[in-house]
């Protein structure tokens, strides 16, 4: 089952495009040798940052087999790039980042480049190369032919120029990533909107043990779901009343705004990030690591899959220290209240299951759970509600 099903996941629904837009882009193909590709990478013309190594999707064995395929002259998938609008000859990667990262690591001459040199392993056809780096191969005359075959292997590269807007690139990206392991558009967002806030998000997500526990991962997520959830939190926390139902636009604006305002708001952003950690930890302590951020089912059990819509409602309120403190040692009451709303409030249930990205359902689920929280703390709190086509903040009725 695809647990990313419309539980608040970015999709092509966020990317409405006119037919004419697709005629504007210029798409051409070229055959670069692996040495030429490496030169482009080394000069920084293709955006493959050393930090990407923290989110490797491929094992060393998979990387080694890719290099072996190049040496043997086997067909490999094409690489797809988009030329940056403001920097001619510089490219964003739409498809092929792991292949490019593998090349950059194998061609690396030392850690001073920021890339750890790849030592081949697990090869079955060219087993004599196991344990060797590229420098080992280049320094041994026995392997001269192998080195030449590697350097001269051509890699089909598709380059998109004159793309009309970012939505076009997201459409291409999503169409390319429709396999069983779906990548997050966050990967492309980080390339298109670099800045200090997005760098902070990446470092914070990697270091956050609560986020790892919530997503049930033990290392940085190569799909960047951890980064996505941090940006989602900041969007709902700071820009909820601007939300129009389009996740892509809202996430992009959040990143653009906080990149631009980083110097003025750095301390506030870091404090809010700490509250995100505290709120996730609070939910895990109350519900348990298996049941946190999961729906309660009529048959009397938790669904046990991560639901972004439930993440929204839990974190929106439990990231407020005053609410968290007043509900300390009230775990059973919180669990009972959540079970009750999942069973008896059909509108809340619809808002965490169906078209969760819409402004109406976003406001409904936040409002309904907010009223429950207000009742639990026995005090008025601020809750969102849907009014005249937009989300507004009002005082709760309960409390």
Q: What angle do CA 227, 91, 81 make, to 5 degrees?
A: 85
* Residue 86 structural domain: 26-162
The three-state secondary structure class of 125 is: coil
- What the block records as the tokens of 145 is 């032919």
Query: What's the pLDDT score for residue 179?
Result: 54
Q: What is the distance between the alpha carbons of residues 10 and 357, in angstroms, rounded to a whole number? A: 9
Do 313 and 377 have their domain in common? Answer: yes
Averaged pLDDT of the chain: 90
**Total residues found in the chain within this entry:** 399
Q: What is the distance between the alpha carbons of residues 395 and 322, in angstroms, rounded to a whole number? A: 16
Task: Report whether 3 contacts 308 (CB < 8 A).
Answer: no
Residues 330-357 have pLDDT tens digits of 999 999 999 999 999 999 999 999 888 8
How large a percentage of the chain has pLDDT more than 70?
A: 91
- What the block records as the tokens of 79 is 């690489």
Q: Report which of residues 157 and 354 the model is more confident about.
A: 157
Do 199 and 292 have their domain in common? Answer: yes
Residues 268-321 have pLDDT tens digits of 999 999 999 999 999 999 999 999 999 999 999 999 899 999 999 999 999 999
End residue of a domain, out of 127, 162, 197: 162
Alpha helix segments (H runs only) across 124-195:
134-138, 144-152, 166-176, 186-192
Do 268 and 383 have their domain in common? Answer: yes
Residue 5 within any structural domain of the chain: no
Q: What's the half-sphere exposure (Cβ side, CA atoms, 13 Å) at 199?
A: 10
Do 238 and 379 have their domain in common? Answer: yes
Mean pLDDT of 166-177: 80
Query: What's the pLDDT score for residue 54?
Result: 73
Query: What's the pLDDT score for residue 13?
Result: 54
Do 158 and 192 have their domain in common? Answer: no
Work out whether strand 91-95 and strand 26-33 pair parallel, antiparallel, or are unpaired: unpaired
Give 94's strand partners.
none
pLDDT band for position 151 (cuts 50, 70, 90): very high
The three-state secondary structure class of 66 is: helix
Number of structural domains found in the chain? 2
Residue 171 within any structural domain of the chain: no
Residues 118-143 have pLDDT tens digits of 999 999 999 999 999 999 999 999 99
pLDDT band for position 5 (cuts 50, 70, 90): very low
Query: What's the pLDDT score for residue 182?
Result: 55
Do 68 and 206 have their domain in common? Answer: no
Rounded to 10 degrees, the C-alpha dihedral 376/377/378/379 comes to -130
* Percent of the chain that is helix, strand, coil (3-state, to 5): 55, 10, 35
Residue 165 Ramachandran class (φ > 0 left, ψ -120 to 50 alpha, else beta): beta
Residue 212 within any structural domain of the chain: yes
Residues 27-61 have pLDDT tens digits of 899 999 999 999 999 999 998 876 767 788 899 99
Residues 195-215 have pLDDT tens digits of 999 999 999 999 999 999 999
Residue 11 within any structural domain of the chain: no
Mean pLDDT of 152-157: 94
Query: What's the pLDDT score for residue 326?
Result: 96
Buried b / exposed e across 1-16, counting CB within 10 Å, b at 16+? eeebeebbbbeeebbe
Query: What's the pLDDT score for residue 20?
Result: 59
Query: What's the pLDDT score for residue 3?
Result: 41
**Beta carbons within 8 Å of 112's beta carbon, 6+ residues apart:** none
Do 150 and 35 have their domain in common? Answer: yes
Do 209 and 320 have their domain in common? Answer: yes
pLDDT band for position 194 (cuts 50, 70, 90): confident
- What the block records as the tokens of 201 is 């998000």
Residue 236 within any structural domain of the chain: yes
- What the block records as the tokens of 98 is 């792991």
Do 251 and 337 have their domain in common? Answer: yes
Q: Which residue has the tokens 């059973």?
A: 332
Least confident of 144-153, 160-169, 316-325, 369-378: 160-169
Do 201 and 251 have their domain in common? Answer: yes
Residue 177 within any structural domain of the chain: no
Residue 343 within any structural domain of the chain: yes
Task: Report whether 107 contacts 134 (CB < 8 A).
Answer: yes
- What the block records as the tokens of 105 is 């690591």
Residue 168 within any structural domain of the chain: no
Do 55 and 198 have their domain in common? Answer: no
Q: What is the distance between the alpha carbons of residues 156 and 31, in angstroms, rounded to a whole number? A: 5
Do 256 and 363 have their domain in common? Answer: yes
* Whole-structure pTM value: 0.82
């Amino acid at each position: 089952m695809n647990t990313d099903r419309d539980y608040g996941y970015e999709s092509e629904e966020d990317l409405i495009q006119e037919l004419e837009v697709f005629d504007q882009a210029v798409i051409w193909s070229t055959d670069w040798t692996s040495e030429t590709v490496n030169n482009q990478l080394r000069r920084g013309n293709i955006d493959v940052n050393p930090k990407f190594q923290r989110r490797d999707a491929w094992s060393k064995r998979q990387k080694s087999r890719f290099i072996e395929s190049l040496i043997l002259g086997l067909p490999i998938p094409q690489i797809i790039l988009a030329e940056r609008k403001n920097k001619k000859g510089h490219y964003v990667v739409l498809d092929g980042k792991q292949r490019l990262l593998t090349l950059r690591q194998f061609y690396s001459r030392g850690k001073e480049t920021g890339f750890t040199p790849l030592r081949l392993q697990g090869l079955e056809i060219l087993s004599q190369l196991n344990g060797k780096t590229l420098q080992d191969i280049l320094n041994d005359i026995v392997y001269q032919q192998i080195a030449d075959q590697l350097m001269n292997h051509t890699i089909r590269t598709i380059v998109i120029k004159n793309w009309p807007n970012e939505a076009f690139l997201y459409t291409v990206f999503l169409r390319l990533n429709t396999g069983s392991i779906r990548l997050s558009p966050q990967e492309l967002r980080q390339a298109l909107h670099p800045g200090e806030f997005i760098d902070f998000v990446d470092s914070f997500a990697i270091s956050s043990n609560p986020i790892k526990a919530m997503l049930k991962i033990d290392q940085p997520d190569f799909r960047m779901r951890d980064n996505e959830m941090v940006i989602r939190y900041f969007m709902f926390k700071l820009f909820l009343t601007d939300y129009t139902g389009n996740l892509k636009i809202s996430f992009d604006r959040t990143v653009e705004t906080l990149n631009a305002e980083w110097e003025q708001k750095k301390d506030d952003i870091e404090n809010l990030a700490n509250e995100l950690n505290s709120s996730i930890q609070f939910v895990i302590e109350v519900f348990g690591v298996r049941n946190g951020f999961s729906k309660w089912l009529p048959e009397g059990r938790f669904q046990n899959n991560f639901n972004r819509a439930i993440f929204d409602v839990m974190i929106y309120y439990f990231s407020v220290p005053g609410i968290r403190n007043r509900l300390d040692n009230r775990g059973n009451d919180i669990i009972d209240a959540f079970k009750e709303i999942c069973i008896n409030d059909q509108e809340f249930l619809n808002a965490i299951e169906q078209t969760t990205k819409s402004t109406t359902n976003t406001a409904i689920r936040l409002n309904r759970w907010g009223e429950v929280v207000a009742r639990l703390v026995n005090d008025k709190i601020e809750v969102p509600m849907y009014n005249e086509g937009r989300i507004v903040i009002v005082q709760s009725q309960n409390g």
